[in-house]
């Protein structure tokens, strides 16, 4: 079973299959922003929507911590633009 865990102290959201790390979404924190800089999922798990769940996890936590999100990561940028345009 795939689980997504947010690790603020490590500036990332991580996907696990049981205890094996299979993906991550990394952000850089500034005073006002969280900048998502990298999203990656193991090739064995691609096509299952895991990358999207990782980005969504960062989005939800940014709301909790009252941070504005930006993205240098092209994948995360697409997700943020889609949410902004809805």
Which bin fits 11, alpha (ψ -120 to 50), beta or left (φ > 0)? left
The pLDDT, as a whole number, for residue 35 is: 98
Does the pLDDT at position 84 exceed 80? no
Q: Which token pair is 6?
A: 């947010």
For residue 58, the surrounding DSSP H or E stretch is helix 50-64
SS3 category, 29: strand
pTM exceeds cut of 0.85: yes
Does the pLDDT at position 86 exceed 80? no
The pLDDT, as a whole number, for residue 85 is: 76
What distances in angstroms separate CA 48 from CA 2, 43, 58, one per listed residue? 10, 11, 18
Does the pLDDT at position 52 exceed 80? yes
pLDDT, tens only, 20-45: 999 999 999 998 899 999 999 999 99
Query: Do 23 and 45 touch, CB atoms closer than 8 A?
Result: yes
């Amino acid at each position: 079973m795939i689980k997504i865990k947010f690790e603020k102290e490590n500036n990332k959201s991580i996907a696990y299959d049981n205890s094996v790390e299979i993906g991550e979404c990394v952000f850089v924190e500034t005073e006002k922003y969280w900048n998502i800089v990298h999203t990656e999922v193991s090739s064995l798990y691609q096509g299952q929507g895991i990358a999207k769940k990782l980005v969504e996890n960062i989005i939800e936590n940014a709301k909790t911590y009252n941070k504005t999100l930006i993205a240098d990561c092209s994948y995360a940028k697409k997700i943020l633009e889609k949410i902004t345009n809805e």
